[in-house]
Structure 1
Amino acid sequence: MSDTQAEAALSFVRHEPLPPAPPPMAYRGPVHRVRHNLFSSVGNSIMTIAALYAIYLLVSAIVPWVVNGVWDASSIRDCRAQLDGKIGGCFAVIAERWPQLVFGNYPKAQYGRAMLAFVLLFAALAPLLFIELPRKLLWFTGVFPFIGYWLIWGGTIWVPILALVGIVVGYLVFVRLERQSFFGALMAGLLAMALFWGLLVGPIASGLASLVPLRLEPVQSREIGGFMINFILGTTCMALSLPIGIALALGRQSDLPIIKAICVMFIEFIRGVPLITLLFVASVMLAYFLPPGTNFDLILRVIIMITLFASAYMAEAIRGGLAALPKGQYEAGSSLGLDYWQSMRLIILPQALKISIPSIVNIAIGLFKDTTLVSIISMFDVLGMIGGPILSSTDWFGVYWELYAFAGLMFFVFCFGISKYSQYLERKLNTAHR
């Protein structure tokens, strides 16, 4: 056998590719990541060292303050006696005054009602936040606002039940007239609901309460405070401002000049006025425009003002989402034979809201934190409780960092949760790679 024949007999053709070889040691592992991300240049190295030094200073100051903290003391003087010159926080004020920080002056015997409302809120939000859950659970989402109101404010159960009946009446009127005109049916439904609330709820509720007295111990709005009122204002105003913002965004893009002018003036006026000014109007000036002797609850006035304030910003965020859609999406609705409202409901708004998620979440987080401004109009939210009843006490006068750190931690937990949920929702609705 010749050499050529021998080589041909020994030849081999691989039918499978070789497995990829690992990268060299110099380009993998934690050492490479640290060198590439933190010390890739002289400037990055200086910034890394400065940042590490700043972190060291913070940790060296915070850790002893937390580790040496006192959790069991009767006053700030007792805390200082236990610390005996060491660096440490007086966390005993939180252990003693946490009911005031969370519930304000809410009656202690009724804490269970407030906590039950808090738990039921998350049960009601679950079908809205997670689309994997059965849609049948949405009935509880619609009923919860009336249950929550009754649990927190108390009184007869017939008032929230009849308020719910009023919404049902308005919805039935809307469904009855929807085929003739969507906008006209919407206005007729709102009018029917308002008339039912204004004319029938009071007399019917009084009659039913005398026959079947189902009631809880009433709680006045002035007794609701602490983080509880921040949470009520934040969740309520966020829920109400989104649909109003959608209506304002559509009105601003309307071809009807009067509706467009009203929406533009409202949005620009609200965005040009500080929230604290609107809160002062709700607290002081609004009473001058009401009939003498009218008792308009302060929390309701604040909810209205904060909702109007947030809805103007929501409108601009949603208008940005509407402007980002290509013209072909609008033409697609027309080509399918859909009218304006059907096209908006089925094609345009779902896409615009998905685009606007980051902006909407940013507004929601800012709104939730801005609820602390109500302390300026003498509403004892969590900051109002810290600056008022707690620090005015001689037992805890001088304890600042511990209380404000606790308040900041509560806000961080909820705001961070909102942010993480928005990221989850963006990933869930991302159809670019499907």
Structure 2
Amino acid sequence: MAMHQPQPDLPPPVAERGALKWLRENLFSTWYNSVLTIVVGYWLLSTLIPLIDWAFISAVFNGDGPEACAPGAACWVFVQQRLGFFIYGFYPDELWWRPNLVFALFALAVVPQFLPIAAAIRKWLAIFGLTGLPVAAYFLIAGGHFGLESVDTSRWGGLMLTLILAYVGIIAALPIGTLLALGRRSEMPIIRGICVVFIEFWRAVPLITILFMASVMLPLFLPEGVTFDKLLRALVGITLFQSAYMAEVVRGGLQAIPKGQYEAAEALGLGYWRRMRLIILPQALKIVIPGIANTIISLFKDTTLVLIIGLFDLLGAVKSTLSDPAWDNVMAEGYLFVAFCFWVFCFGMSRYSHRLEKNLDTGHRS
């Protein structure tokens, strides 16, 4: 007697798989969702099509000057002509190879963090990015050592200055903020009081006021003949300001750790700093990765405020160029270029934080 042979399973209906299923569940699940989808779709098409035509199809990308621009179309010639100034500011043209080398080292330290390569390689490149890269960048960009021509910080600008302000602020604010968070939770009243006063003071003052005080008011209180570089004053102000916010983010992570973890660490006979370094801080920092990423992105965008103290970061470089009467019709193109640059870096930091959060997830979320 022949045995019954089961037939292969039939594939699910077309409407229950792939793009059609996603559209039905997310955009056309109910009649009012369907109406809203159609209305929003119509608005997007009526808006995006003219925008794409203005920005890409009819746009002018190459030319020798403003006369190459066409009415009713984007003039990216402006960005092409001033790209060097937007990236390097007033840095001497013949020395651009030095910041370019720093950009290459920065890419070497950062890009592999997004790639599926050996964890040990990513670890050592990250360590280089946090320790060796700032030192190499200082000697290369500032010069004055190893036979390199010195370049005053007043000539630094553009995207290069934006990255310097953000990078130094990021790698300095996290450890300082962590120490402040530990100090605020300390059982020693004096240490706790100092940290509370520091955090609350810097969080209560706008960054624009701090930059103004560092640039204009601080030199008035220094002894005669004593001065500090304007960029250094801005870096110190930005770092201290962001450290206060970072401290509160880290403190939230410390408070989220169950009390049993502290008691278990004490039961092992570990000292305070070893308990923090080996058991408590790794868990706390993992919990607050989204908050740390948010603070870092906020810091990156706040670097544009240095324009008020005469430092020409990326936004300042573009804004100063737009004052040229020859380019009085390309304001939108200039600000779109700035927005795109900031979006690229902020989106990259956001995606990396998501990747890091996913890789470090150990299933402790409820």
- Tell me, yes or no, if structure 1 residue 247 matches structure 2 residue 234: no
CA distance in 1, matches of 2:9, 2:167: 53
Q: Is the 8 A contact 2:14 2:20 kept in 1?
A: no
Q: Alpha-carbon deviation of 1:355?
A: 0.3
**Match of residue 60, structure 2, among 60, 65, 70:** 70
Count of aligned positions: 359
| Aligned equivalent of 2:93, options 108, 127, 141 | 108
Higher deviation after alignment, 250-259 or 62-71? 62-71
Give the residue type in structure 2 aligned to 1:253: R
2:193 equivalent among 261, 264, 267? 261
The equivalences for 1:65-214 within 5 A come to: 65-66=54-55, 67-76=57-66, 78-80=67-69, 83=70, 85=71, 87-125=72-110, 132-134=119-121, 140-141=128-129, 142-156=131-145, 214=146
Shift, 1:75, TM fit: 3.5
Give me the whole-angstrom Cα distance separating, in 2, the residues matched to 1:424 and 1:18.
Answer: 43
Paired residue for 1:183? none
- Tell which deviates more after alignment, 252-261 or 126-135: 126-135
**Of 38, 43, 49, the match for 1:54:** 43
Q: Give CA deviations for 1:157-190 in whole Å, capped at 9, x if unaligned.
A: xxxxxxxxxxxxxxxxxxxxxxxxxxxxxxxxxx
Q: What code does the residue aligned with 1:33 have?
A: W
Which whole-Å deviations, capped at 9, do the CAs of 1:115-152 have from their partners, x for residues lacking one? 10111123345788887134566774433322110100
Deviation at 1:20, TM superposition (A): 5.7
| Distance of 2:124 and 2:329 partners within structure 1 | 53
Q: Find the aligned partners of 1:131 and 1:330 in 2 and give their Cα distance.
A: 33
Show the counterpart of 1:407. 338
Summarize the Cα distance change of 1:410–1:21 in structure 2 as closer, same or farther, 3 Å threshold.
Answer: same
What letter matches 1:50 in structure 2?
Answer: V
Identity of aligned residues (%): 47
Q: Give yes or no for contact 1:127–1:138 (8 Å, CA) kept in 2.
A: no
Q: Which of 293, 310, 326 is equivalent to 1:395? A: 326
Q: Which AA in structure 1 matches 2:119?
A: E
Alpha-carbon distance in structure 2 between the residues aligned to 1:408 and 1:401: 10
Letter in 2 for 1:356: V
Give a deviation string over 1:211-264, Cα, whole Å, max 9, x none.
xxx320110111001111111000110000000000010011011111111111
User: Is the 2:322–2:334 Cα contact (8 Å) retained in structure 1?
Assistant: no
Q: In the alignment, is residue 422 of structure 1 matched against residue 353 of structure 2? A: yes
Alpha carbon RMSD of aligned pairs, Å?
Answer: 2.3
CA–CA distance in structure 1, aligned partners of residues 16 and 106 of structure 2: 50
Q: Give, in angstroms, the shift of residue 289 of structure 1.
A: 2.0
For structure 1, which segment, 47-56 or 358-367, has the greater mean C-alpha deviation from structure 2 after superposition? Answer: 47-56
Question: Which letter maps to 2:316?
Answer: G
1:44 matches 2:29: no
Name the amino acid aligned to 2:40: A
For 2:19 and 2:106, how far apart are their aligned partners in 1?
A: 44
Q: Which has the larger radius of gyration?
A: 1
TM-score (norm 2): 0.91
Q: Does 1:378 align with 2:310?
A: yes
For 1:339, which of 271, 279, 291 is the aligned residue?
271
Give runs of ≥4 in structure 1 deviating > 6 Å. 10-14, 126-131
Post-superposition CA distance 1:92-129 (Å, at most 9, x none): 11110000111111100110000101111233457888
- Between 404-413 and 343-352, the greater mean CA deviation after superposition: 404-413
Structure 1's unaligned 5+ residue stretches are 1-9, 157-213
CA distance in 2, matches of 1:252, 1:273: 19
1:74·1:395 contact (CA, 8 Å) conserved in 2?
A: no
The Cα shift of 1:403 comes to 0.8
- The residue that corresponds to 1:176 in the other structure is none
* Residues 289 and 339 of structure 1, relative CA distance in 2, 3 Å threshold: same
Q: Does structure 1 retain, via aligned residues, the 8 Å contact 2:306–2:313?
A: yes
Which runs of 5 or more structure 2 residues have no equivalent in the other structure?
Answer: none
Distance 1:20 1:310 in 2: 59
